[in-house]
Structure 1
Amino acid sequence: EYLQQYRGEHDIRTTWQARERIVVGLTGGPEGRTLIRRAARLAEKGAGGEVLAVYIAASDGLKAVSPKELAVQRTLVEDLGGTFHHVIGEDVPSALLEFARGVNATQIVLGVSRRRAWQYVLGPGVSATVARESGPDLDVHIVTHAAAAQGRGLPIARGARLGRARIVWGWLVGVAGPALLTLLFKTVVPDLGLANDMLLFLTFTVAAALLGGMLPALASAAFGSLLLNYFFTTPMHRLTISDPKNIVAIVIFAGVAVSVSSVVDLAARRTHQAARLRAESEILSFLAGSILRGENSLDALLERLRETFAMDSVALLERDGEVEPWSCAAAVGGPPVGRPEDADVDIPVGDNLALVLSGRALRAEDRRVLGAFAAQAVVALDRQRLVGQAEEARKLAESDRFRTALLAAVSHDLRTPLAGIKASVTSLRSHDVAWSETDRDALLEGIEEGADRLSALIGNLLDMSRLNTGTVVPLIRETDLDEVVPMALGGVPEGSVELDIPETLPMVAVDRGLLERIVANIVENAVKYSPEHRSVLVSASSLHDRVELRVVDRGPGVPDAAKGHIFEPFQRLGDAPRGAGVGLGLAVARGFTEAIGATLTAEDTPGGGLTMVLTLPRTATGPPASPAGHGAG
């Protein structure tokens, strides 16, 4: 998204080969499945390759394709990890190249043309045109398939909106055809009679109407009438007719030619309208289906609209009132316009919303589809905001639950050390009892232990608050576990932990301070639940691109069903007297672990107990791992 925005802001049209993006051109025929699979294999060869299948429906007509086949191909490309796109374009090769450059594609996969050999007289075909016009920044793969050169069946006429090539061919057939036919009759073919001559001339008029529309057909009818009069009726080589029967024949010929031209042109217009409606219905069907399946976010919906009409940018603008300035609710493509008046196309949606498009002007008939897109965009915007409000409500409910649980959990854990500190201080200040040095040391030790418990509790509460508010920003750098782990054990009793950290262990890429807190919380939890006179083992090893730190205890262990819950706040393993604390240690450790890009999981210790496995990303440099280690108590 940011790359597309940068390219749009700097008017960059050429392809940036940041990674392989392979566009598959689909015709709706069965060969599309072969092309999609070939593109998927090409994408697998490049790291992070992406497949984008596109079906282009010409706005002036639509080939007789099977919606079921298109649906099958869409499912196939999505199953292979790609995306399916439906685009309207005036000219299929140009629309395909414009789409490919718009998505920064590096390769295009097309099938061998299904045209028969004689059809190449009318043009080179889509594949050849795309290959010729792709330029040096796009590689074009033309793939053979079972349907090659088998034809397409009867194509739907393109109707009133004809391309330049078809209009030129219409004029050539309508004007040059009768002239060549006259030359042929006068030099080679014997006299066939005026009736047969008129039928053959009428054939060129009908062909001109089919190819170029009304004007070439009318010109062909007029030109044919003149040729028949000049070369085939007496007196010859004069624009006069002596036989009344020939006058009637020429008039009937002209009338039939004009009538046939009108009927053919009207049929082409009706076909164009039907094809246009079919194209619109297919796009709206895809749109409605994806909306009902919940696949389209607002941004995805606007991106589909931008692709469909080949626009530079699409935005949904809103304002609070008629006098308030417009603000952008969502936008895709290049920089959006600030007001509907500045856009090439704008669709008002109520009084305070407008769908605006920049890039080119669209025809009036396109506004039907735009209106449907605009209505769906408003629905998507409302749904997006409802989802946001629901998420906010969920967070508020979670925060309330957290506060309630916090108050319930810390009420005892705060009161107990405070009561002990208060009792020890009161005893020391009392003049009624003469305390020995041993008693005074015991009371001071109790005060120190209570203060340490309060400090640890408050530290965990602050850490949990930082995690909940998202204010933990790790500073990732190379760190040596051999230095961090011993520092993390300062709060545990001496002799309760055994270290097995190889000196040649690779460096890890973590936040040093957060890693120290993670290890401290895990080890303190292990020591808390370990039997007396059984030390906790902290070992480390290197595995490929990661380093594993294991904290092994011989305590009661945790059932498999409860392993996923021990990392939640306020979870404690039973009600053992030594299990003091509010149950935040492992929750804080898991939160910090995710913040530095590591993982923390729980496993059973063989023979009984629990093993915490901290998996850390290793750096690219550093000495190889060694099986040797050192112990510390």
Structure 2
Amino acid sequence: MSRGSWTVRPMPLWDADDMEQRGGVPASTSRLSPGRRRVGLIGSVAGPVVFTLAVLPWRGDADLGAVLPAYFLLVVVAAVLGGMGPGLLAAIASFLLANWFLTRPFDTLAVDRSDALAQLVVFVVVAVLVSLVVEAGARTRAVAARRVAETEVMSRLARSRVGSTSIEEVLTETMQLFELDGVVFTPPDGPVDAVSVGVRSGSEPTHLIETTAGSTLETWGTPSFADDLHLLRSLADASDRAWHEQLLEREASRAAALDEADRVRTALLAAVGHDLRTPLAVIKAAVTGLRSDEGSWADGDREDLLETADDSVDRLTSLIDNLLAMSRIEAGALLVRLEPVALVEVVSRVLIDRDDVTIEVPDDLPLAMADEALLERVLVNLVDNAVRHGGGVTEVVARVQADSVDVAVIDHGPGLPANRSSDPFTAQSGSDRVGTGAGLGLAIVGGLVRAMSGTVEATSTPGGGATVTVRLPVKAP
């Protein structure tokens, strides 16, 4: 959105139906359209002339009191169509035509009868008064229509729920009401956070309205009427309220996000406590046993204890790596380098020492756009999770789609628990599978895949188990 200008155009007489059709605020004066004024002016002259020519053949027999009401009707029609000016012009034209052509002596402005003179004078006075009354009625209707429109606008803004009306909506409402090309709202913080709607047509604003809170509302274009400025000030105050309500909404959303992050972090720390303590306890027991002076350990038993401690260290290292990766994902500090990657090579490196996983990855798969190191972490987490909880043989299957490459890790275990089935790739749910500690494995998978512009989904494996499918975009040809 950009900055704008304000244009005030002539408007016809306004009533409730006009406001609904036009959608703007009517003027408080009876400003008529140029076309309507032209019709009124033409009628103010043409009407009396045509009527005079029509009755001229019978002027000797026609009574002046009988023809003056017809002239009076023409004056009323001219005033209604064109306003006070055409009404007065019709009254003068009717007086002159009736006096010259229809009042004895004919073809002169002299009047030889006092009753005829009285009729003409009364006609002119009444015609002028009617023109003024019609004009005053038009003004009253315009003022009433404007008050209704102003009340409706301010009532609608007042009824809106706090934070439900944005500053952009208020500015757009202002543009529609006054037929503006654009407005600019500048909050107290300065022009850096200014909000603009429309196109600014000049360098200097025509109107600069300041609110009590220090905000400003600027417009460009034709100077406004006093009543327009009154409503514009009210809308400037409404813009200021909408701005501050928007700030409150942002602060509330930020606070809610921080609360949620704290809750998730607390839940994660509580959940990983078990996974951290278990390998530490195993390592402690193995080291304590090996250092014990009581008895001697056979070479096979010593080797088993060392292997157990080594496995626990690897498990602990993997858990800490996952925690660090999760913190980087949540902080938005994850570095991603997308490049063409051969999936068959990545899968082979990840599963080179695994004899409990079957691989079905064609050699002719197109290159996928991914970060090779992050993709390896994704596959390691998915395979470890599937082997640990799946039972039976775990499968890794890759397929090419129209514009992506899918890698599916399939297990035949109990499947995902119900509390994680809606979104298993977040840390909020607490655990990867029933009975495990941390919800880091799948949560990290989801974060890493999304960072690589891919998608991930979990479905049920036919016959039982879970299938996690990672979808990555293919390299553009």
Under TM normalisation by the shorter chain, which class is it?
0.7 to 0.9
Instruction: Kindly report which structure 2 residues correspond to 1:486-565, keeping only aligned pairs within 5 A, or say none.
Output: 486-489=348-351, 493-531=353-391, 534-564=392-422
Give the letter for the 1:344 counterpart. Answer: T
Q: 1:611 aligns with which of 447, 467, 472?
A: 467
| 2:181 is aligned with 1:228 | no
Could you list the per-position Cα deviations for residues 124-162 of structure 1 after superposition, in whole angstroms to 9, with x for gaps in the alignment? xxxxxxxxxxxxxxxxxxxxxxxxxxxxxxxxxx97211
The amino acid that maps onto 1:211 is L
1:250 is the counterpart of 2:120: yes
Distance 1:285 1:510 in 2: 54
User: What's the counterpart of residue 311 of structure 1?
Assistant: 180
Q: Could you tell me how far 1:202 is from its partner in structure 2? A: 1.8
Which residue matches 1:64? Answer: 17
Q: C-alpha offsets along residues 541-581 of structure 1, whole Å, 9 cap, x if unaligned?
A: 34445443321112222344542364342414344xxx5x6
Instruction: Report if the CA contact (8 A) 1:313-1:336 is conserved.
Output: yes
Structure 2 residue aligned with 1:53: none
Distance 1:349 1:558, change over 3 A: same
1:589 aligns with 2:449: no
Instruction: Please give the alpha-carbon distance, in whole angstroms, between the structure 1 residues aligned to 2:103 and 2:10.
Output: 49
CA displacement, residues 224-266 of structure 1 (integer Å, 9 cap, x when unaligned): 2122222222222222212112111110110111111111111
- Comparing 230-239 with 595-604, greater Cα deviation is found at 595-604
2:35 to 146, 161, 165: 165
* Cα pair distance change 1:66/1:163, threshold 3 Å: closer
Match of 1:484 among 346, 355, 360: 346
Q: CA deviation at 1:164?
A: 1.4
Report what 2:263 is aligned to.
401
Q: What CA distance in whole angstroms lies between the structure 1 residues aligned with 2:292 and 2:354?
A: 34
AA at the equivalent of 1:319: P
Larger mean CA deviation between 240-249 and 562-571 belongs to 562-571
Counterpart pick for 2:50 among 180, 199, 211: 180
1:88 aligned residue: 24
User: Any gaps of 5 or more consecutive residues in structure 2?
Assistant: none
2:197 matches 1:333: yes
For the residues of structure 2 that align with 1:57 and 1:160, how far apart are their CA atoms? 10
Q: What TM-score, normalized by structure 1, do the two folds share?
A: 0.64
**Conserved 8 A contact 1:59-1:279:** no
| 1:457 corresponds to 2:319 | yes
In 2, Cα distance between equivalents of 1:300 and 1:483: 54
Corresponding letter in the other structure for 1:165: G
Cα separation, partners in 2 of 1:315 and 1:193, compared to 1, 3 Å:
same
Native 8 Å contact 1:477 1:509 kept in 2: yes
Name the one with the larger helix percent: 2
Would the aligned equivalents of 1:500 and 1:540 in 2 still touch at CA under 8 Å?
yes
2:143 matched to which residue of 1? 273
Structure 1 Cα separation of the partners of residues 14 and 123 of structure 2: 31
Question: What letter is aligned with 1:273?
Answer: V
* AA partner of residue 173 (structure 1): G
Question: For residues 319 and 452 of structure 1, what CA distance do their matches in structure 2 show?
Answer: 57
Query: Aligned to 2:183, what secondary structure does the other structure show?
Result: strand
- The Cα shift of 1:327 comes to 4.2
Contact 2:19 2:26 in 1 (8 A): no
Shift of 1:200: 2.3
Q: CA deviation at 1:537?
A: 0.6
CA distance in structure 1 between the aligned counterparts of 2:114 and 2:42, rounded to whole angstroms: 32
Deviations 1:342-395 (Å, cap 9, x if unpaired)? 533344332423333344433222234334433433332332222222222223
SS in 2 for 1:88: coil
User: Which 10-residue stretch deviates more, 190-199 or 255-264?
Assistant: 190-199
In 2, Cα distance between equivalents of 1:517 and 1:298: 45
Bigger radius of gyration: 2
Matched to 1:595, the amino acid is A
- C-alpha displacement of 1:521: 1.4
Question: Which of residues 272, 275, 298 is equivalent to 2:167?
Answer: 298
Aligned equivalents of 2:168, 2:107: Cα separation in 1: 71
Query: C-alpha separation between the residues in 2 aligned to 1:204 and 1:385?
Result: 61
Q: Does 1:262 align with 2:215?
A: no
TM-score in terms of structure 2 length? 0.83
Distance 2:326 2:144 in 1: 63
Q: How far did residue 460 of structure 1 move? A: 1.1
Q: Is the 8 A contact 2:14 2:26 kept in 1?
A: no
Q: 1:210 Cα shift?
A: 0.8
Q: Give the CA deviation at 1:284.
A: 4.1
- SS of the residue corresponding to residue 64 of structure 1 reads helix
Maintained 8 Å contact 1:495/1:535: no
Change (3 A) 1:401 1:292: closer
**d(CA) in 1 for partners of 2:336, 2:221:** 43
Deviation (angstroms), 1:527: 1.1
Percent identity, please: 35
Q: From 254, 258, 263, give the equivalent of 1:392.
A: 254
How far apart, in 1, do the equivalents of 2:360 and 2:59 lie?
Answer: 105
Confirm or deny: 8 A CA contact 1:523 1:551 kept in the other structure.
yes
Change (3 A) 1:310 1:252: closer
Q: Distance in 2 between matches of 1:241 and 1:176?
A: 25
Instruction: Check 1:441–1:58 CA distance in 2 against 1; reply closer, same or farther (3 A cut).
Output: farther
**CA offset at residue 485 of structure 1?**
3.0
C-alpha distance 507-424 of structure 1, shift in aligned 2 (>3 A): same
Q: Decide whether aligned partners of structure 1 residues 451 and 361 sit closer, same or farther in structure 2, where only a CA change above 3 A counts.
A: farther
Give how far 1:168 is off.
Answer: 1.8
Superposed counterparts of 1:329-478, under 5 Å: 329-334=193-198, 343-418=205-280, 445-446=307-308, 448-472=310-334, 474-476=336-338, 478=340
CA distance in 2, matches of 1:385, 1:363: 33
Gaps of 5+ in 1: 12-55, 71-85, 92-157, 321-325, 622-633
Q: Alignment partner of 2:185: what SS?
A: strand
Structure showing greater relative contact order (alpha-carbon pairs closer than 8 Å, 6 or more residues apart): 2
Deviations along 1:295-332, whole A, 9 cap, x unmatched?
53222222222333233433333337xxxxx4455513
